[in-house]
């Protein structure tokens, strides 16, 4: 494995990659605990996939903005390190699969040559920040949210407050009140607003917090109807700090912000955010409205050169339908935006390279990935649409019906994911075929949606679909055989401006009967709905029990046929996959591992202090004390589920018992100075010194235990 020390311009990025390379070697040597290594690699976009011995790499594309050069770089990396395939996710990331763990540092270094990162694409971090693909060109937007999304991405990247939280944290920016970025299902979601204050137009956001899907979906609540733009980053930081300290860390299923808010109540959570305010470095932070060149419009030298692309459209009917469903007038006069239907977000690198050429000739150098696994071209001239249609049609990207019921969203599921139970991609393709052949008129219908996940975790967003499915399994009691199944959900949807509905779980059916579920529901809706009645309103009028009875015949397992025991896309007997994690092959001293980590965090604190990054130094020092306390409590067989409880238990079990002395008052008094003091140089010096003294005591205490 070669070194990257001299290849990257950014020393922080270079060191990050070298650290990953070092930790991989230590993991192979059995010197890093499996769980800790998993946390470390996930925070760097390296995810163990279903197939043993290989990794899925998640490439972070902030707010879905991708240049042609970046797309080509990703293609080169996929060809060299993966299988020559790309997958667009519902978080505007790109994933590649079947990558060797040992080659991930080199792969990452190649991506960074064009400012593409893996950092915090997975793991218990602030994940990729998403935004409406139309941001910046949307006629209905109050203002372009792209620079705000970029600035927030930059602010949290490698920020010590969000590197090892209890669970992931997701943020979304919608372009307008239609809420196309789905702010209501995020830990933090924002919708742009403009107010006139003292005769001056002021930008701000409607702010929602505590949303999330998964097995127990919950919609976000409004924290502010209008938060001025300079307060967005301070509020976001305070919220993440509170989640880091108070969030669940042991019970994974209860570790999201939505559960913390359920425990505390929205007002209780907002009160903790207010208490955290002194620790926030920037009490007001205006956004650079050209941040990351997010708002720049750049065209390649090839723009407008359509050689060898015919202007005459062969299929005029399809072209007209495509214009109606996939093309919209931008707010910039003379230009249109064009949406691309990319089936399940999958394409080969050969196709992606051809798409790059199309972008160069027809659009701005600003391809946007969409949250329904598609794409969008911007600044297309209307008179070039026939040629663009022809070019896209050769790639299969000119199918009409973007974001309609014909454009199904589905996660990779059992194709590559450890958690997939039954196939999501196989049923998705079959359902799209049914719509295309039996219900072609629905290609214009955007009030109906189909979303599919391979398990209850909702990566395919099934919980907010009109018609949703998630993978499952079921046993036929008559013959004891297990067959692939689908949980059917109905009635979800987005109302706009941060409001919507979670779909109801209606019934479970064999997977091969998923096509009939669609037929039953659509035919019933067509027959019995009132004129102009949206499906969500029809579902609400009829109710869950009505649809249960409608679909009940499909759940009858006494009529199963041999094909029902075989999953979509498979030829063999169906078996429920049991995830297998990596194993270091040796017994690890977990307490000593925690102390090693604490020593590493102490180094980071001192480095940040030397660099005058006072807020970072303070938070690293905070983690030194919490981590060190956790290590000693673990040595006493005390396991706790939040940082706050670790702090309290350390006082109770060790300080109050006289087994450990702290420098100032109680341990809680000492540690929680962090949210009572301004993050300036004076406090940073004192707090880092406290942490260093505490670490010295921890090391001595541990040494005495080992000698006893």
Q: How many CB atoms sit inside 10 A of residue 186's CB?
A: 28
What stretch of H or E contains 482? strand 481-490
- pLDDT at residue number 135: 97
Bridge pairing between strands 221-228 and 200-209: antiparallel
In angstroms, rounded to a whole number, what is the distance separating the alpha carbons of residues 487 and 143? 40
- For the ranges 238-242, 467-471, 481-485, 588-592, which has the lowest average pLDDT? 588-592
Per-residue pLDDT band for 226 (boundaries 50, 70, 90) equals very high
- Cβ–Cβ under 8 Å, residues 89 and 45: no
Q: Quick one: what percent of the chain has pLDDT higher than 70?
A: 97
Q: pTM of the entire structure?
A: 0.93
> What is the helix, strand, coil percentage profile of the chain, to 5?
45, 15, 40
E strands present in 4-157: 46-48, 55-59, 65-66, 85-88, 94-99, 130-131
- Cβ–Cβ under 8 Å, residues 97 and 49: yes
What stretch of H or E contains 476? strand 467-476
Per-residue pLDDT band for 4 (boundaries 50, 70, 90) equals low
Average pLDDT over residues 122-127: 95
- Cβ–Cβ under 8 Å, residues 224 and 207: yes
Q: What is the CA radius of gyration of the chain?
A: 26
pLDDT per position as a tens digit, 596-648: 889 999 999 999 999 999 999 999 999 999 999 999 998 888 888 899 999 99
- pLDDT at residue number 64: 97
- pLDDT at residue number 3: 55
Chain centre to alpha carbon of residue 456:
16
Q: Which domains does the chain have, with CATH numbers?
A: 11-112 (3.90.480.20), 132-290 (3.30.413.10), 316-393 (3.30.70.3340), 409-565 (3.30.413.10), 590-707 (1.20.120.330)
| Residue 581 pLDDT greater than 50, yes or no | no
Average pLDDT over residues 120-146: 96
pLDDT per position as a tens digit, 154-206: 999 999 999 999 999 999 999 999 999 999 999 999 999 999 999 999 999 99
pLDDT per position as a tens digit, 342-382: 999 999 999 999 999 999 999 999 999 999 999 999 999 99
Q: Is the dihedral of CA 640, 599, 45, 187 positive or negative?
A: positive
Output 639 or 339, whichever has higher pLDDT.
339
Task: Name residue 384's beta-bridge partners.
Answer: none
> What is the average pLDDT value for the chain, to the nearest integer?
93
- pLDDT at residue number 619: 96
Both tokens assigned to 614: 């006072």
């Amino acid at each position: 494995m070669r070194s990257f020390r001299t290849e990257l311009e950014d020393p922080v990025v270079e060191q990050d990659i070298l650290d990953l390379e070092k930790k991989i070697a230590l993991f192979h040597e059995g010197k890093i605990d499996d769980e800790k290594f998993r946390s470390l690699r996930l925070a760097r976009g390296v995810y163990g996939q279903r197939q043993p011995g290989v990794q899925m790499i998640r490439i972070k594309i902030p707010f879905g903005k991708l240049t042609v050069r970046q797309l080509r770089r990703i293609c080169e990396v996929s060809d060299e390190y993966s299988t020559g395939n790309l997958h667009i996710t519902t978080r505007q990331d790109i994933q590649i699969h079947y990558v060797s763990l040992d080659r991930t540092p080199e792969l990452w270094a190649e991506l960074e040559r064009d400012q593409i990162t893996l950092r915090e694409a997975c793991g218990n971090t602030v994940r990729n920040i998403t935004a409406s693909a139309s941001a910046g060109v949307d006629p209905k937007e109050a203002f372009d949210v792209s620079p705000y999304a970029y600035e927030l991405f930059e602010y949290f990247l490698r920020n010590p407050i969000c590197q090892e939280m209890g669970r992931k944290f997701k943020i979304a920016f919608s372009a307008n009140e239609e809420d196309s970025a789905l702010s209501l299902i995020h830990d933090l979601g924002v919708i742009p607003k403009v107010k006139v204050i003292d005769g001056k137009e002021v930008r701000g956001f409607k702010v929602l917090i505590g949303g999330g899907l998964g097995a127990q979906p919950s919609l976000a609540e409004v924290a502010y109807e209008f938060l001025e733009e300079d307060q967005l980053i301070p509020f976001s930081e305070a919220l993440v700090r509170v989640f880091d300290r108070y969030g669940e860390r042991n019970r994974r299923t209860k570790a999201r912000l939505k559960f913390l808010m359920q425990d505390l109540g929205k007002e209780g959570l907002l009160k903790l955010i207010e208490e955290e305010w002194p620790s926030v470095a920037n009490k007001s932070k205006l956004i650079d409205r050209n941040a990351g060149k997010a708002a720049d419009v750049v065209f390649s030298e090839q723009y407008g050169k359509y050689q060898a692309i015919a202007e005459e459209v062969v299929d005029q009917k399809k072209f007209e339908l495509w214009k109606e469903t996939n093309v919209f007038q931008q707010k910039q006069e003379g230009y249109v935006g064009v949406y691309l239907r990319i089936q399940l977000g999958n394409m080969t690198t050969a196709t992606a390279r051809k798409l790059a050429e199309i972008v160069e000739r027809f659009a701005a150098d600003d391809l946007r990935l969409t949250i329904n696994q598609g794409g969008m071209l911007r600044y297309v001239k209307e008179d070039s649409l026939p040629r663009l249609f022809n070019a896209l049609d050769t790639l299969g990207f000119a199918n009409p019906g973007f974001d309609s019921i014909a454009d199904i969203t589905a996660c990779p599921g059992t194709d590559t994911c450890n958690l997939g139970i039954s196939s999501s991609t196989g049923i998705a393709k079959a359902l799209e075929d049914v719509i295309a052949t039996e219900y072609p008129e629905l290609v214009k219908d955007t009030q109906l949606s189909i979303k599919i996940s391979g398990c209850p975790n909702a990566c395919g967003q099934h919980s907010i679909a009109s018609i949703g499915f998630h993978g499952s399994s079921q046993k036929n009691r008559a013959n004891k055989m297990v067959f692939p199944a689908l949980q059917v959900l109905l009635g979800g949807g987005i109302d706009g401006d941060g409001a919507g509905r979670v779909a109801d779980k209606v019934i479970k059916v064999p997977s091969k009967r998923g096509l009939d579920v669609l037929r039953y529901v659509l035919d019933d809706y067509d027959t019995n709905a009132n004129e102009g009645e949206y499906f969500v309103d029809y579902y609400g009028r009829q109710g869950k029990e009505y649809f249960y009875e409608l679909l009940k015949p499909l759940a009858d397992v006494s009529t199963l046929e041999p094909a029902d025991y075989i999953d979509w896309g498979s030829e063999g007997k169906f078996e429920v996959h049991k995830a297998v994690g990596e194993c270091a092959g040796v017994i690890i001293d977990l307490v000593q591992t925690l102390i090693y980590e604490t020593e590493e965090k102490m180094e980071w604190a001192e480095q940040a202090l030397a660099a005058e990054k006072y807020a970072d130094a303070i938070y690293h020092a905070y983690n030194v004390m919490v981590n060190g306390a956790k290590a000693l409590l673990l040595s006493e067989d005390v396991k706790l589920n939040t940082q706050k409880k670790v702090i309290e238990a350390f006082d109770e079990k060790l300080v109050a018992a006289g087994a450990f002395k702290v420098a100032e008052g109680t341990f809680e008094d000492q540690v929680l100075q962090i949210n009572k003091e301004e993050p300036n140089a004076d406090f940073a010096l004192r707090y880092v010194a406290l942490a260093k003294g505490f670490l010295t005591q921890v090391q001595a205490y541990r040494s005495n235990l080992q000698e006893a």
